[in-house]
Amino acid sequence: MTKQVAVIGSGVMGHGIAEAYALAGFAVALYDLQDEFLLKAKKSVEQSLSLLVAEQVITEQAKHETLERIQLTTDLSQAVAEADFITEAIPEVIELKWELFAQLEEYAKPDAIIASNTSTFAISRLIEKAKNPHRFIITHFFNPAQLVPLVEIVRHEATSEEVVGMTQALMKQIGKSPVLLKKDVPGFIANRLQAALMREAFSLVDAGVADANEIDTVMKDGIGFRWAFVGPIETADFGGLDTWKRVMDNLAPVLDQSKSAPALIEEKVAKGELGTKTGAGIYSYADMSVEKKLHKRDEQFIRLSKMKQD
């Protein structure tokens, strides 16, 4: 039974994952290389919990108890010594992950499960150098990890059935919707679906069919409005498979089939316009508070989550 967890890496994903575990009642050791990273993470968790209080999801008392469950540390061996489940959330650099996994296998309990939050690497690549591959698994959370329900689980053929079962149970215990992939494919499920839609969205902008704001409106007030409750496969059933056969037969030949990132993204990256992190991307953020925009996003995610639960 999982009693204590450790999260390695306190960045955007790491602190959200730590919060999700702490909210569910688990003692969490949150590790990073420097105290300043951990203090920034603690502030982000406090702000997130305050929003949950404001939206009447948790009480002020629950907020304080959740914060008390998260212990910050720059000592890796101390962070994982008593952990039953360890989540790696460090940058997507394979050499860094291999180095970390070697340390985890040395410091962690023999029966501790080691999970990666990777969205890039196949699990076969991750465990190339592992001494005990049976206890490795992928739990791919989505940003913000404390709010988005989905977690994609990817196993290796060497991963034990016990590890798979315990991981699925743990994800449900912290309020997530786990999906176990039957095959390890690049991008898993969600990012493949997102990439396909993003490719077509940028293609439509490039072709002058609509501007970015109009494309986003179509998604938010049309497709996304429905997809919050009815998935694409259900949509096909509800619309009639004969109808969708005609739609796909007609559209498939003319959909964008480019093999690399859209030209508009390439152009923006070359200019250093990376989105909210630099103050400009497809949109300009010069005259607005990105922090307030993200706060509003999270507020809306919480309200949607409450609605879906009802």
Task: Encode pLDDT of 150-163 as tens digits.
Answer: 999 999 999 999 99
- The answer to whether residue 107 is domain-embedded is yes
Of 149, 180, 211, the domain-final residue: 180
| 68 falls within a domain | yes
- Output the pLDDT for position 291: 87
Annotated ligand binding at 32? The verdict is yes
Per DSSP, helices labelled H in 33-84 are 35-54, 60-69, 76-80
Say if residue 108 is in the same domain as residue 216.
Answer: no
pLDDT at residue 310, rounded to an integer: 77
Residue 13 labelled as part of a binding site: yes
Are 207 and 294 members of one domain?
yes
Do both 29 and 55 map to the same domain?
yes
Residue 291, Cβ density class (10 Å: 0-12 exposed, 13-18 middle, ≥19 buried): exposed
- 171 shares its domain with 237: no
Q: Is residue 185 part of a domain?
A: no
Closest residue by Cα to residue 72 from 142, 140, 8:
8
Name the residue with tokens 């501007």.
Answer: 211
Backbone angles phi, psi at 261, to 5 degrees: -60, 145
CATH number at residue 289: 1.10.1040.10
- Is residue 97 within 8 Å of residue 116, measured between CB atoms? yes
Q: Say if residue 97 carries a ligand binding annotation.
A: yes
Report whether 148 belongs to an annotated binding site: no
Strands 150-154, 85-88: pairing kind: unpaired
Residues 123 and 230 in one domain: no
Spans of the chain below 70 pLDDT: none
Domain count of the fold of the chain: 2
Residues serving a catalytic function are: 119, 140, 152, 191
pLDDT for the residue 288: 82
252: Cβ contacts below 8 Å, ≥ 6 apart: none
* Long-range pairs of 190-196 with CB within 8 A, sequence gap ≥ 24: 190/140, 190/142, 190/150, 190/152, 191/119, 193/232
Q: Is the link from the previous residue into 144 a cis peptide, with omega within 30 of 0?
A: yes
Ligand-binding annotation for 117, yes or no, is no
Exposure of 198 by Cβ count < 10 A (0-12 exposed, 13-18 middle, 19+ buried)? middle
Predicted pLDDT at 56 = 96
